[in-house]
Amino acid sequence: MKKIFFAVIIFSIAFAACDNSNAKENKKDPLESGRGFIEASLKGNYVEAKKYILEDSTNLEYFNGLRDFNSKMTPIERENYRDANIIIDSTSKLSDSVTIISYSNTYKKVPSKLKMVRQNNEWLVDFKFSFVDSL
C-alpha cells in the first residue's frame, strides 16, 4: 500500500512539474503584461496571447484577424517571428490606468505601439489602439 501511495505522489509531482498551464501570466505590471502578449504573439501562441487582450468585440475582432493573417505566413516567416526578440523602445505612462509601450522585434524591426489599460488591477492590451488610434 505504501508503494502505491508513493508512486501516486511521485506521479502527481512529475505531472505538475510538466504542466505548463500552471505558469501564471503577470498582469500586475503594464510592461510585463505587454511583453507577455508580444512574446506569445511572436511565438504564434494565440491561446496565451488572448489572455492579455482586453475583451471587447472590436479587440477580439482585430485579434482574430491577426491570428488568421499570421496563419497564412510561410513556415520560414513563422520561424523568424518565433526566433525574434522583443525590443522595448519606450513606455509612456499617460495616467494611472493607461500606458503606451513602443516596441519592435529583431525580425521585422518595424516600430509598433501597444496601449495597456488597467482593469480590475490587471493590465490588458487594448489591441484596437494598434489599428485605429495613434499618439
Q: Is 32 exposed, middle or buried (0-12, 13-18, 19+ CB in 10 A)?
A: middle
Residues of the chain below pLDDT 70: 1-25, 131-135
Residue boundaries of the structural domains of the chain: 29-132
Kindly state the cell numbers that stand for 78. 513563422
Q: Which of 122, 125, 130 is nearest to 55 (CA)?
A: 125
- CA 7/CA 119 separation, integer angstroms: 44
- CA 124/CA 108 separation, integer angstroms: 24
- CA 28/CA 114 separation, integer angstroms: 16
Give the pTM: 0.77
- CA 129/CA 96 separation, integer angstroms: 18
Contacts of 44 (CB under 8 A, 6+ apart): 70, 78, 81, 82
pLDDT at 78: 94
pLDDT at 19: 40
pLDDT at 15: 37
pLDDT at 26: 80
pLDDT at 17: 38
Q: Which of 75, 69, 74, 76 is nearest to 41 (CA)?
A: 69
pLDDT at 103: 95
- CA 116/CA 95 separation, integer angstroms: 11
CATH number at 29-132: 3.10.450.50
